[in-house]
Amino acid sequence: MFKRMKNILTNPHMSIETRKRVLECYIEPMLMYGCETWIISKQTRGRLEAKEMWFLRRMTRIPRIARKKKTNQKTNDAVLSETNIKRALINKIRKRQVTFFGHIMRRERQEHLVTTGMFMGRHGRGRLREKATDRLASWLGVGSTVETIKTTRERGVWRGMIANVMRHGTG
Protein backbone atom coordinates (compact mmCIF):
# COMPACT_ATOMS: atom_id res chain seq x y z
CA MET A 1 0.00 0.00 0.00
CA PHE A 2 2.90 2.34 0.74
CA LYS A 3 4.22 1.79 -2.77
CA ARG A 4 0.80 2.59 -4.25
CA MET A 5 0.71 5.88 -2.37
CA LYS A 6 4.38 6.65 -2.93
CA ASN A 7 3.61 9.82 -4.92
CA ILE A 8 1.80 11.33 -1.95
CA LEU A 9 3.97 10.01 0.87
CA THR A 10 7.31 11.00 -0.68
CA ASN A 11 6.18 14.34 -2.10
CA PRO A 12 8.62 16.97 -0.78
CA HIS A 13 6.11 19.78 -1.47
CA MET A 14 3.71 18.41 1.16
CA SER A 15 4.46 18.98 4.83
CA ILE A 16 5.74 16.05 6.84
CA GLU A 17 2.71 16.35 9.13
CA THR A 18 0.32 15.86 6.22
CA ARG A 19 2.28 12.87 4.99
CA LYS A 20 2.31 11.43 8.51
CA ARG A 21 -1.47 11.79 8.74
CA VAL A 22 -1.87 9.98 5.41
CA LEU A 23 0.39 7.23 6.74
CA GLU A 24 -1.68 6.95 9.92
CA CYS A 25 -4.98 6.88 8.02
CA TYR A 26 -4.20 4.51 5.17
CA ILE A 27 -1.10 2.43 5.89
CA GLU A 28 -1.03 1.85 9.66
CA PRO A 29 -4.55 0.34 9.87
CA MET A 30 -3.54 -2.27 7.30
CA LEU A 31 -0.32 -2.97 9.18
CA MET A 32 -2.11 -3.27 12.53
CA TYR A 33 -5.00 -5.44 11.29
CA GLY A 34 -5.74 -8.03 13.97
CA CYS A 35 -3.05 -6.69 16.31
CA GLU A 36 -5.33 -7.13 19.31
CA THR A 37 -4.47 -10.84 19.34
CA TRP A 38 -0.73 -10.59 18.65
CA ILE A 39 1.86 -11.54 21.22
CA ILE A 40 4.68 -9.06 20.70
CA SER A 41 8.01 -10.78 21.25
CA LYS A 42 11.35 -8.98 21.06
CA GLN A 43 11.72 -10.10 17.46
CA THR A 44 8.25 -8.88 16.48
CA ARG A 45 8.83 -5.59 18.27
CA GLY A 46 12.08 -5.12 16.37
CA ARG A 47 10.37 -5.80 13.06
CA LEU A 48 7.59 -3.34 13.80
CA GLU A 49 10.06 -0.63 14.83
CA ALA A 50 12.11 -1.31 11.71
CA LYS A 51 9.01 -0.99 9.52
CA GLU A 52 8.10 2.27 11.23
CA MET A 53 11.59 3.63 10.52
CA TRP A 54 11.36 2.34 6.94
CA PHE A 55 8.21 4.42 6.47
CA LEU A 56 9.87 7.55 7.87
CA ARG A 57 13.03 7.08 5.81
CA ARG A 58 11.00 6.65 2.63
CA MET A 59 8.87 9.68 3.43
CA THR A 60 11.96 11.85 3.92
CA ARG A 61 13.83 10.23 1.02
CA ILE A 62 16.72 9.17 3.21
CA PRO A 63 18.15 5.89 1.94
CA ARG A 64 18.67 3.01 4.33
CA ILE A 65 22.35 2.76 3.44
CA ALA A 66 22.93 6.34 4.61
CA ARG A 67 22.88 4.85 8.09
CA LYS A 68 25.87 2.61 7.39
CA LYS A 69 28.20 4.96 5.52
CA LYS A 70 30.86 6.90 7.40
CA THR A 71 30.00 10.16 5.63
CA ASN A 72 26.57 11.79 5.78
CA GLN A 73 25.48 9.37 8.46
CA LYS A 74 21.78 9.55 9.37
CA THR A 75 20.92 7.46 12.39
CA ASN A 76 17.37 6.58 13.25
CA ASP A 77 17.45 9.15 16.05
CA ALA A 78 18.56 11.82 13.57
CA VAL A 79 15.69 10.93 11.25
CA LEU A 80 13.21 11.08 14.14
CA SER A 81 14.48 14.46 15.31
CA GLU A 82 14.56 15.82 11.75
CA THR A 83 10.94 14.86 11.15
CA ASN A 84 9.93 15.81 14.71
CA ILE A 85 8.11 12.49 15.05
CA LYS A 86 8.18 10.03 17.94
CA ARG A 87 7.86 6.29 17.56
CA ALA A 88 4.28 5.41 18.36
CA LEU A 89 3.40 2.20 16.52
CA ILE A 90 4.13 -0.17 19.41
CA ASN A 91 2.14 2.01 21.84
CA LYS A 92 -0.81 2.15 19.45
CA ILE A 93 -0.79 -1.62 19.17
CA ARG A 94 -0.57 -2.04 22.94
CA LYS A 95 -3.42 0.38 23.49
CA ARG A 96 -5.61 -1.60 21.10
CA GLN A 97 -4.62 -4.83 22.84
CA VAL A 98 -5.42 -3.49 26.30
CA THR A 99 -8.80 -2.04 25.31
CA PHE A 100 -9.71 -5.32 23.58
CA PHE A 101 -8.58 -7.25 26.66
CA GLY A 102 -10.82 -5.11 28.88
CA HIS A 103 -13.75 -5.71 26.54
CA ILE A 104 -13.22 -9.47 26.62
CA MET A 105 -12.82 -9.60 30.41
CA ARG A 106 -16.00 -7.60 31.02
CA ARG A 107 -17.95 -9.87 28.70
CA GLU A 108 -17.33 -13.01 30.79
CA ARG A 109 -18.12 -15.57 28.12
CA GLN A 110 -16.10 -18.27 26.41
CA GLU A 111 -13.49 -15.73 25.27
CA HIS A 112 -12.86 -14.96 28.93
CA LEU A 113 -12.09 -18.61 29.65
CA VAL A 114 -9.79 -18.91 26.66
CA THR A 115 -7.92 -15.71 27.49
CA THR A 116 -7.38 -16.52 31.14
CA GLY A 117 -6.53 -20.14 30.35
CA MET A 118 -8.69 -21.59 33.10
CA PHE A 119 -9.19 -25.09 31.77
CA MET A 120 -9.06 -28.37 33.63
CA GLY A 121 -6.39 -30.89 32.74
CA ARG A 122 -2.65 -31.25 32.49
CA HIS A 123 -0.18 -28.97 30.78
CA GLY A 124 2.80 -30.00 28.70
CA ARG A 125 6.31 -30.60 29.95
CA GLY A 126 8.81 -27.83 30.40
CA ARG A 127 8.57 -24.20 31.28
CA LEU A 128 5.14 -22.63 30.96
CA ARG A 129 4.73 -20.23 28.08
CA GLU A 130 4.32 -16.58 28.87
CA LYS A 131 0.67 -15.66 28.55
CA ALA A 132 -0.67 -12.57 26.88
CA THR A 133 -2.37 -11.65 30.14
CA ASP A 134 0.99 -11.71 31.96
CA ARG A 135 2.52 -9.36 29.36
CA LEU A 136 -0.40 -6.96 29.60
CA ALA A 137 -0.20 -6.96 33.40
CA SER A 138 3.52 -6.17 33.33
CA TRP A 139 3.05 -3.47 30.68
CA LEU A 140 0.28 -1.84 32.72
CA GLY A 141 2.39 -2.01 35.86
CA VAL A 142 -0.18 -4.05 37.76
CA GLY A 143 1.11 -6.62 40.23
CA SER A 144 -0.66 -9.70 38.87
CA THR A 145 -2.98 -10.95 36.20
CA VAL A 146 -5.76 -11.40 38.76
CA GLU A 147 -5.55 -7.70 39.70
CA THR A 148 -5.64 -6.78 36.02
CA ILE A 149 -8.79 -8.82 35.45
CA LYS A 150 -10.45 -7.28 38.52
CA THR A 151 -9.58 -3.80 37.31
CA THR A 152 -11.23 -4.41 33.91
CA ARG A 153 -14.61 -4.66 35.64
CA GLU A 154 -14.43 -1.00 36.64
CA ARG A 155 -14.50 0.72 33.28
CA GLY A 156 -13.56 4.20 34.52
CA VAL A 157 -10.53 2.96 36.44
CA TRP A 158 -9.50 0.78 33.49
CA ARG A 159 -9.65 3.69 31.04
CA GLY A 160 -7.71 5.89 33.47
CA MET A 161 -5.02 3.22 33.82
CA ILE A 162 -4.69 2.89 30.04
CA ALA A 163 -4.51 6.66 29.61
CA ASN A 164 -1.85 6.91 32.30
CA VAL A 165 0.32 4.22 30.72
CA MET A 166 -0.06 5.79 27.27
CA ARG A 167 0.89 9.19 28.66
CA HIS A 168 3.91 8.08 30.65
CA GLY A 169 4.78 4.94 28.71
CA THR A 170 6.52 1.83 29.91
CA GLY A 171 8.74 -0.90 28.42
Same-domain status, 57 and 98: no
Q: Say if residue 157's pLDDT is above 80.
A: yes
Of residues 169 and 53, which shows the higher confidence score?
Answer: 53
Same-domain status, 97 and 77: no
30 occurs within a structural domain: yes
Domain count, the chain: 2
Q: Are 101 and 115 in contact (CB under 8 A)?
A: yes
* Spatial distance between the Cα atoms of 54 and 56, rounded to a whole number of angstroms: 5
Same-domain status, 23 and 81: yes
18 occurs within a structural domain: yes
- Rounded percentage of the chain residues whose pLDDT exceeds 70: 84
Give the pLDDT of residue 112: 66
Same-domain status, 78 and 99: no
Mind listing the pLDDT tens digit for each residue in 4-53? 888 888 888 888 888 888 888 888 899 889 988 888 888 999 999 989 88
* Spatial distance between the Cα atoms of 35 and 86, rounded to a whole number of angstroms: 20
Output the CA angle 171-20-10, nearest 5 degrees.
125
- What is the domain range of residue 25? 6-87
Give the pLDDT of residue 43: 92
Q: Is the pTM of this model over 0.75?
A: no
